[in-house]
Amino acid sequence: MKKKILVVDDNRLMLSFMIDLLEKEGHEVLSAEDGLSALDILNSFVPDIIFVDLIMPKIDGERLCRILRTRPLLKNCFIVVLSGAVAEIGFDHLKVGADRCIAKGPMNAMKKHILSVIKEAGSETDQKLSTEILGLEGVFPRQMTKELLVRNRYLEAILGSIAEGVLEIFSDRVVYTNAAAEFLFNRPQEEILSAYPPDLFDGAESDRIKILLKQSRELPGEIGFHHPLSLNNLMVSIRCIPISDDGTSLVMLIADVTRRKQMELKLQHSSKMEAIGTIASGIAHNFRNTLAGILTNSQILQMNYGQDQKIIEVVQRIISSVRKGVQLVDGLLQFSRKQGKKEFESVDIAALIDETHLLVKESFGNKIKINIDMDRDIGDVTILGEPSSLSLALMNLCTNAYHAMPDGGELTIKTECRVNSVLITVSDTGTGMDSETLQKCFDPFFTHGEVSENTGMGLAVTYGIVKSHEGDIQVQSNPGKGAVFKLTFPLFRTSDSEPEDSDEQKNQNQHERSGLTRGGGKKVLVVDDEKDLVNALKNLLEFLDYNAVSATSGLEAIETYKSFSPDIVLMDINMPGMNGFACAEKILALDSNAKIAIMSGYDERDNLDPSKRSMIAGYLTKPMSLSDLSKFLARWS
């Protein structure tokens, strides 16, 4: 019976022998010199039998057999491996999907076996599987061939074990792929081989690959190092290296740079947050100066027109607005971590969660279901921190979750005890965030909600609080799938605790909290480059019965100190020309017993080096109320 036969062999003499033999037997015969050409022929030709050599360029026989068995149209095709290498490698043709295997040898012996398998392919017994290699009786293993084959398998093993994906490309078609490439493309070898490389990528990435292939005909090319390509949710960079003079053969190396880019993005984000923090702290300082002027002048109005109820009402509204402004500045400082370390103490995590639970339960109503999942060991866990700040951080996360669930949902607070840390997870079932929002959610003033319900400072403040407690905060979210915030804090060891205040100190603190203390004519020098603020402070000091004079620069302050000999100097830290510390140093050189208190928009005592810390008698944070000023001067003057 006439059959349609395809012969695939890179040896032209062998092809001539096969074509001549099979055509004389009355069969229709087509031939190909490599696996890639064979696949092209098979797009329009469906043979009954395929003879395949093992050792070939551009997709070898073993890979070709595997590909053939994935094609539905070739399901019933009879595949015969015809190779001289089978004697050296102990080849099992059944593992690659072939039906029979013939060893190349003397022509007469091969002819007999070839005609035999053709006859078998048309019989009812062709379904019987056999591992027998026909024709071995006339073939002797060749040591050189064996060594070359072993070497080839050794090199393939190396390529198969490297982390980079490797594709060999001939005439814009893939003829070799390693295991790493299969993993990166998330496709089996059979789908990758013979494919046009750009077709393995999606959308715009496909166009980038087309350009790369065109540019790499003569010189190596690379894309994706700075702007990675997207491949199955991974980020990759790709190099193409020409390996033939005519540019038809290339090697494509595909590197998974996902982790590197994530680390780069994390570093960039940290740098950005640090830069924003620096800017925020500068804004906060200047804003506090402005608020200090407003508050001080408001208090002067209150002192001078205390009998006029209408004026007092206006003043009270001004003071209320100043306090809101101070809260906003505090948020900026919490974010930038420039607020100075407050008095840290042992904080009971379980109590903190319980307190937060009560607050949100009362505030959020019934449309939000609140789940609390406490680790059974959480009762023994404490961290070192400032309770009100930690409470604020948790409340901000809960409030953020509330706004993300306008139609109701579930809020879950979970704790997990670890060896040296505690993990607090706050999750919701709300609207979630896209990747762009996720990257900016900790930025100050960033909000994707309504301005009326969200100032954009909540998450920024939380970020600053967590970092100031030497903790870490991570967020995971997808649109429509809610958000998960994970806060990690180091555990607090009891041995690290600080001694409590003595009874005498407690009594002193209580005394300081009561009433306004008069100055009794003590001398105060106020130094600030803001003229309006320094004059307002001078008026407040005079109201408190202090003898106050002012200076608006470091040089003026030094000259005034010489002539005035104050009991204490209130010195702004940030002044043009000579700053507060430089001025303090010169005053102390004149009078080693001078008392100098620093005024600043933020408390950075903990960030001062010892030499600067030793210069100052105290620290005042702007804006300060009349009561704050009175208590401070009573203690230090």
- pLDDT tier for residue 108 given thresholds of 50, 70 and 90: confident
Residue 21 lies in a domain: yes
Phi, psi of 250 (to 5 degrees): -135, 155
CATH of the domain at 423: 3.30.565.10
Backbone CA torsion sign across 183, 187, 191, 192: negative
Summary mean pLDDT of the chain: 82
For residues 139 and 199, membership in a common domain is answered with no
Which residues span the domain enclosing 434?
Answer: 345-496
- CA 512 to CA 1: how far, in whole Å? 114
Q: What is the DSSP letter of 246?
A: T
Q: How confident is the model at residue 453 (pLDDT cuts 50, 70, 90)?
A: very low
Say yes or no: 197 and 319 in one domain. no
Same domain? For 420 and 526 the reply is no
Please give the residue that has the higher pLDDT: either 447 or 254: 254
Q: Is the pLDDT of residue 507 over 50?
A: no
Tell me the mean pLDDT in the region 494-505: 46
Mean pLDDT of the 64-74 span: 89
Model confidence pLDDT, tens digit, residues 132-143: 888 877 665 555
As a whole number, mean pLDDT of residues 172-180 equals 89
Do 606 and 526 lie in one domain? The reply is: yes
Q: Both 479 and 546 in a single domain? A: no
Percent of the chain exceeding pLDDT 70 equals 83
Distance CA 170, CA 396 (A): 59
Q: Clarify whether residues 490 and 568 are in a common domain.
A: no
Burial grade of 348 (CB within 10 A; 0-12, 13-18, 19 or more): middle
Q: How many folded domains does the chain comprise?
A: 5
Q: Pick the closest to residue 372 from 401, 412, 424 (CA basis).
A: 412
Residue 299 has pLDDT above 90, yes or no: no
Looking at residue 513, its pLDDT comes to 39
Long-range Cβ contact pairs of 226-230 (< 8 A, separation 24 or more): 228/257, 228/258, 228/261, 229/201, 229/205, 230/202, 230/205
In this structure, the answer to whether residues 226 and 353 fall within a common structural domain is no
Q: Tell me, yes or no, whether 393 lies in a domain.
A: yes
For the entire predicted model, the pTM comes to 0.45
* 405 shares a domain with 541: no
Beta strands at 547-551 and 523-527: parallel, antiparallel or unpaired: parallel
Last residue of a domain, one of 292, 326, 360: 326
pLDDT exceeds 50 at position 112: yes
Q: Length of the chain, please? A: 637
Residue 498: CB partners within 8 Å, gap ≥ 6?
A: 345
Q: In the prediction, which pLDDT does 253 show?
A: 94
Residue 621 CB-density burial (10 A; 0-12 exposed, 13-18 middle, 19+ buried): buried
Concatenate the DSSP letters of all residues of 340-382 into one string: -----EEEEHHHHHHHHHHHHHHHH-TTEEEEEE--TTGGG-E
453 shares a domain with 356: yes
Residue 381 lies in a domain: yes
Domain C-terminal end among 464, 496, 528? 496
Q: Is residue 223 part of a domain?
A: yes
* Per-residue pLDDT, 328: 63
Asked whether residue 129 is assigned to any structural domain, the reply reads: yes
Q: What was the pLDDT predicted at 276?
A: 63
231 and 316 housed in the same domain: no
pLDDT digits (tens, 9 = 90+) for 255-295: 999 888 878 777 766 666 666 666 666 666 677 777 878 88
Looking at 441, 469, 496, the residue that finishes a domain is: 496
Q: Which of 1-10, 62-71, 147-156, 202-211 has the lowest mean pLDDT?
A: 147-156
For residue 568, pLDDT over 90 is answered with: yes
* SS3 state of residue 142: coil
State in Å, rounded, how far the first CA of the chain is from the last one.
118
Q: What is the structure's pLDDT at 364? A: 82
Task: Pick the closest to residue 96 from 127, 65, 67 (CA basis).
Answer: 65
- What value does the mean pLDDT take over residues 166-178? 89
Same domain assignment for residues 291 and 350: no
Average pLDDT over residues 111-139: 76
Residue 440 resides in a domain: yes
Given the structure tokens 């003569």, which residue do they identify? Answer: 218
pLDDT value for 124: 59
Check pLDDT > 50 for residue 511.
Answer: no
Q: Which of 374, 370, 446, 460 is nearest to 410 (CA)?
A: 370
Determine contact, residues 100/80, Cβ cutoff 8 Å: yes
| d(C-alpha 27, C-alpha 20), whole Å | 10
Instruction: Pull the structure tokens for residue 111.
Output: 């002819």
Q: Is residue 390 part of a domain?
A: yes
The answer to whether position 155 is within a domain reads: no
- CATH number of the domain that residue 193 is part of: 3.30.450.20
140 plus 8 within the same structural domain: yes
